[in-house]
């Protein structure tokens, strides 16, 4: 196992200071290529119904309620109907926006940490521990 692990020599400082291209920039590029080749891309269950445990809830004035979490399975797209399930009675809502790392997206998929903007839901109506899911799947 250890014989297969790539070893890349270099200097991040040399890359930042642009002092020695061989041990600086070139080694950083070699390292990133080794990481891309060696570490497999995880299998994401995109074909299953959407499910995201809610980790936090925010209220954005003028926009609505945002729930955040890591998408466990499936894909959520802007405009899709969803259900908030658990702890309280099930609530139907619509996803009006998806954001990841402060960028607006058309969709979020399994493995992504997203914020989902929900229509018609008060901040007090959602809490950590509930799940956001495709209707009728949980």
Q: What is the pLDDT of residues 64-122, one digit of tens each?
A: 899 999 999 999 999 999 999 999 999 999 999 999 998 999 999 999 999 999 998 99
CA distance 37 to 44: 18
pTM of the full structure: 0.75
Same domain, 61 and 105: yes
Same domain, 57 and 92: yes
Q: What is the pLDDT of residues 18-67, one digit of tens each?
A: 999 999 999 999 999 999 988 888 889 999 999 999 999 999 888 889 99
Same domain, 13 and 62: no
Burial of 61 (0-12, 13-18, 19+ CB in 10 A): exposed
Residue 115 belongs to domain with CATH number: 2.40.30.10
Query: Is residue 46 in some structural domain?
Result: no
Count of domains for the chain: 2
Write out the residue range of the structural domain in which residue 83 sits. 51-133
Same domain, 10 and 68: no
Same domain, 32 and 97: no
pLDDT value at position 42? Answer: 86
Same domain, 32 and 70: no
pLDDT band at 1 (very low <50, low <70, confident <90, very high): low
Same domain, 30 and 58: no
């Amino acid at each position: 196992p250890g014989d297969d692990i790539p070893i890349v020599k270099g200097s991040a400082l040399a890359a930042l200071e642009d002092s020695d291209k061989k041990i600086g920039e070139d080694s950083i590029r070699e390292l990133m290529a080794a990481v891309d080749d060696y570490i497999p891309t995880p299998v994401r269950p995109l074909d299953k119904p959407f499910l995201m445990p809610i980790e936090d809830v925010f209220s954005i004035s003028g926009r609505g309620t945002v729930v955040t979490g890591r998408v466990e399975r499936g894909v959520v797209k802007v405009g899709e109907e969803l259900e908030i399930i658990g702890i309280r009675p099930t609530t139907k809502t619509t996803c009006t926006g998806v954001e990841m790392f402060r960028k607006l997206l058309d969709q979020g998929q399994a493995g992504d940490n997203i914020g989902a903007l929900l229509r018609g839901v008060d901040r007090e109506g959602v809490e950590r521990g509930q799940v956001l899911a495709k209707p009728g799947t949980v």
